[in-house]
Amino acid sequence: MRKEIDLFVGCFIILVLSISLINCADTTANSETTDTITASSIPAQDQAKIDKAFECLENKTVGKAKQMSIEEIAFIILASPKSGILTEYKNELIARKYSQSTSLDCWPSGGCKVKDTALAVLALNHLGENTDRAEDWLSSKNKTATDIQWLLQEDSESETVCKITYDQRDYETTIGLDKKVLKNAGNCLSISPNGFWFSVATNCYDQEFIITCDKNFIANLLYRKPGAGNTYYVDSNTQSSPALGSVTIKINSKCFGISSCEYEGSLWAALALLKTGHDISMYVPYLIALSEANKGLFPESFLYMITNFEDYANWLIQKQKLGNYWEAEGTPNGKFYDTALALVALKSSNAEQVARAKKQMEFFQDTSGCWMSNKMIRDTAILVWALFGRPPSIVASGGATTRCTEAGYYCTAEQECAESDQLGDNYFCSNLQKCCKTQNLKTCDQLDGKVCSSGKECSGNTRQASDENECCLQDCIEPPQETECEQNENYCQTECASNQEEISDECNAGMICCKTQGDDPGSSSWWIWLLVLGIIVLIGIIAYVKREELKLWWFKRQNKVHQGSPGGTNFGGLGFRPGPPFGPRPGGFPPTGGMARQMMRPGFSQARPVSTGRAMQRAPAERSSNSLEEDEVFRKLREMSK
């Protein structure tokens, strides 16, 4: 009977495990089919994906530094792979440096370029290396930005006569009650077509204008890209003066370039110099005014990092593609590169769109861990930097190895951190922000934001405020309705990833519905269900073959009297008296051992002599009332087994 009991227990355990497997299969299926790309379902960063991304990047780049471009080398360093690869690429980057006789460094050695030098500065600064000589080279390549039209504005509450001095000469002009300019002020300042401003001649951009009026007045500069319609930008430096006082206005508009302004080089150079502590305000007008003419370079990502103007963050959020990624109009770089730029810029944003984009990029990650494109190394490196930014494993003396947030400080935009609170480069921030001693949060009202009510979402950027976790800096709108594709828990995208297939469910215009291969509840776990079915069938066969033994065991289990049970109990009408199971019986039956087990077998003769382990036999005992009662039990058991 012991074997039958063991068999039954084993079958019972298998059955429990089978039920657990069923539940596991259901859970797996549910998690695979219900994980839509929404902020509420975004889990904590998947360590396996992070490890896979670094593993792929490292495998694809180890020993290949000499084959890489400066751009690829810089992004690989910023991604912070393991120390051996970092050392290899740092040495290669330094080897490609061109040191001029003027003691300035630039890249590459074959002919210095603004963009390459700026990327080298960012990469080496990331490693804690001194980049002063390269920063000086970048600063030396500034040029007056002549691609911008500048205008001078004067205003007063009443008609006023003003004197404008420049180039050692005084020019008198009048501003009328209707705010219009009534007279030119020399060759540098002529009345603009709308009559309200002075147009500044391009050959006078280096001039300094001193303005004095006979009434209280204000003066400032405006600028725009010629031919850009009625879009004007107001320079932030507006000055005011009482009557007969004076203000000084000077255009300070620069760009970067070797022989002329280079827009992409200027974006990266401004970012590199900002990161290394330089004043870059003189480059901002050029970058802003020329942004519309350079949409493909995704300038809004750079401009948000450079200026911290929330208008650019709101623009980025609103321009996210329906597939939860970014791709600039006319981009030469593709969605992976552009999305990485946006994620670096919006690192501190709480917007749902940022969380969705991170999830989408992880979703597009190939099974190898990389992101497949025609520039796989570059795109994988910049995405690893944007998604999983971490301190480098090797740093020069004084470099940052401790995360700013882990030390109890805050990564913030430089504009929001007082100089006395800045911790310099002693602590690491995963984006291009500064480590600040204090968080310096503003209230939602101070941010000109609002709190969206339940059921609505923010159309722009969302930031943490001192009084609200999610302060919307744009409008609260009704969330877009889900398409048929999204309702069926699939994904609307411009193209399907390598692990997806296109299906016919409807999406918005320009999108297709992509289904992850194996997303059906039973498709990816068919083998689990097959195993469960096999186990259940096996249990059924065993139970059928051993049905008599199992019935007998179960019957005995139900009618067994446990030692020490109080009083007399009539189990099943069979008249069992309390006492230890298989205890001493009249006639001297052994209390334990083989006899105890054999006594329960149907047909066993109680008068049969039994060995107790010694060389002796005992005569059969006389039947007692207990024996007669047990005979009746065995008779009933035999009838049940027929």
Which among 159, 309, 188 has a CA at the least distance from the CA of 250?
A: 188
Query: What tokens appear for 358 in the block?
Result: 């991170």
- H runs (alpha helix) in 246-309: 263-275, 284-289, 299-307
Query: Are the beta carbons of 71 and 79 closer than 8 angstroms?
Result: no
The percent helix, strand, coil of the chain (3-state, each to 5) is: 40, 15, 45
Q: What average pLDDT score do residues 55-83 get? A: 96
Instruction: Please report, for the chain, how many H helices and E strands are present, in that order.
Output: 18, 23
Q: Is 338 or 348 the better-scoring residue by pLDDT?
A: 338
Q: Is 639 or 345 the better-scoring residue by pLDDT?
A: 345
pLDDT of residue 447 exceeding 70, the answer is: yes
Q: Is 530 or 361 the better-scoring residue by pLDDT?
A: 361
- pLDDT bin (cut points 50, 70, 90) of residue 136 is very high
Distances in Å between the alpha carbon of 127 and those of 141, 316, 344, 413?
Answer: 25, 29, 18, 20
Q: 529: buried, middle or exposed (CB in 10 Å: 19+, 13-18, 0-12)?
A: middle
Residue range 162-218, pLDDT digits in tens: 999 999 999 999 999 999 999 999 999 999 999 999 999 999 999 999 999 999 999
Most confident range, picked from 2-11, 51-60, 232-241, 592-601: 51-60
The whole-angstrom separation of Cα 250 and Cα 232 is 18
The whole-angstrom separation of Cα 189 and Cα 174 is 13
Residue range 450-460, pLDDT digits in tens: 999 888 889 88
Query: Are the beta carbons of 249 and 239 closer than 8 angstroms?
Result: yes
Phi-psi region of 258 (alpha: psi -120 to 50; beta: other; left: phi over 0): alpha
pLDDT of residue 20 exceeding 90, the answer is: no
pLDDT of residue 40 exceeding 60, the answer is: no
CA angle 156, 161, 164 (to 5 degrees): 100
Distances in Å between the alpha carbon of 233 and those of 229, 239, 274, 467?
Answer: 12, 16, 22, 32
Predicted local distance difference test score (pLDDT) of residue 457: 87
* Lowest-confidence region among 135-139, 260-264, 636-640: 636-640
pLDDT of residue 66 exceeding 50, the answer is: yes
Predicted local distance difference test score (pLDDT) of residue 413: 84
pLDDT of residue 340 exceeding 60, the answer is: yes
Predicted local distance difference test score (pLDDT) of residue 102: 67
Predicted local distance difference test score (pLDDT) of residue 34: 30
Q: Tokens 């944003």 correspond to what residue? A: 349
Mode of pairing for the β-strands spanning 462-463 and 471-472 = antiparallel
Predicted local distance difference test score (pLDDT) of residue 55: 95
Backbone angles phi, psi at 17, to 5 degrees: -60, -35
Query: 501 - beta bridge partners?
Result: 515
3-state secondary structure of 266: helix
Predicted local distance difference test score (pLDDT) of residue 630: 53
Residue range 104-127, pLDDT digits in tens: 899 998 889 999 999 999 999 999
Q: Is 360 or 3 the better-scoring residue by pLDDT?
A: 360
- Number of neighbours of residue 85 by Cβ within 10 angstroms: 24
* Lowest-confidence region among 33-37, 177-181, 502-506: 33-37
Q: 107: buried, middle or exposed (CB in 10 Å: 19+, 13-18, 0-12)?
A: buried
The whole-angstrom separation of Cα 316 and Cα 189 is 37
CA angle 100, 101, 104 (to 5 degrees): 45
Q: What average pLDDT score do residues 147-157 get? A: 94
- pLDDT bin (cut points 50, 70, 90) of residue 311 is very high
Q: What would you measure as the largest C-alpha separation in the chain, in angstroms?
A: 143
pLDDT of residue 561 exceeding 50, the answer is: no
In whole numbers, what is the pLDDT of the chain averaged over residues?
79
Q: What average pLDDT score do residues 341-361 get? A: 91
The whole-angstrom separation of Cα 582 and Cα 542 is 29
Predicted local distance difference test score (pLDDT) of residue 431: 73
Q: What average pLDDT score do residues 263-290 get? A: 95
Sign, Cα dihedral of 450, 456, 460, 463: positive
Predicted local distance difference test score (pLDDT) of residue 5: 47
Predicted local distance difference test score (pLDDT) of residue 557: 64
The whole-angstrom separation of Cα 187 and Cα 190 is 7
- pLDDT bin (cut points 50, 70, 90) of residue 72 is very high
Query: What tokens appear for 391 in the block?
Result: 């301190």
- pLDDT bin (cut points 50, 70, 90) of residue 138 is very high
Predicted local distance difference test score (pLDDT) of residue 389: 85
The whole-angstrom separation of Cα 564 and Cα 503 is 70
CA angle 485, 490, 495 (to 5 degrees): 90
CA angle 173, 176, 179 (to 5 degrees): 105
Q: Is 402 or 176 the better-scoring residue by pLDDT?
A: 176
Q: Tokens 């039994």 correspond to what residue? A: 610
pLDDT of residue 600 exceeding 80, the answer is: no
- R_g of the chain computed on alpha carbons: 41
Query: Are the beta carbons of 231 and 119 closer than 8 angstroms?
Result: no
Predicted local distance difference test score (pLDDT) of residue 434: 85
Q: Is 517 or 603 the better-scoring residue by pLDDT?
A: 517
Predicted local distance difference test score (pLDDT) of residue 22: 44
The whole-angstrom separation of Cα 482 and Cα 450 is 25
pLDDT of residue 326 exceeding 80, the answer is: yes
Most confident range, picked from 42-46, 411-415, 471-475: 471-475
Q: Is 594 or 91 the better-scoring residue by pLDDT?
A: 91
Q: What average pLDDT score do residues 34-51 get? A: 51
Q: What average pLDDT score do residues 348-352 get? A: 88
Q: Is 371 or 509 the better-scoring residue by pLDDT?
A: 371
Predicted local distance difference test score (pLDDT) of residue 213: 96
Backbone angles phi, psi at 249, to 5 degrees: -115, 130
pLDDT of residue 540 exceeding 90, the answer is: no
The type of residue at 269 is A
Predicted local distance difference test score (pLDDT) of residue 134: 96
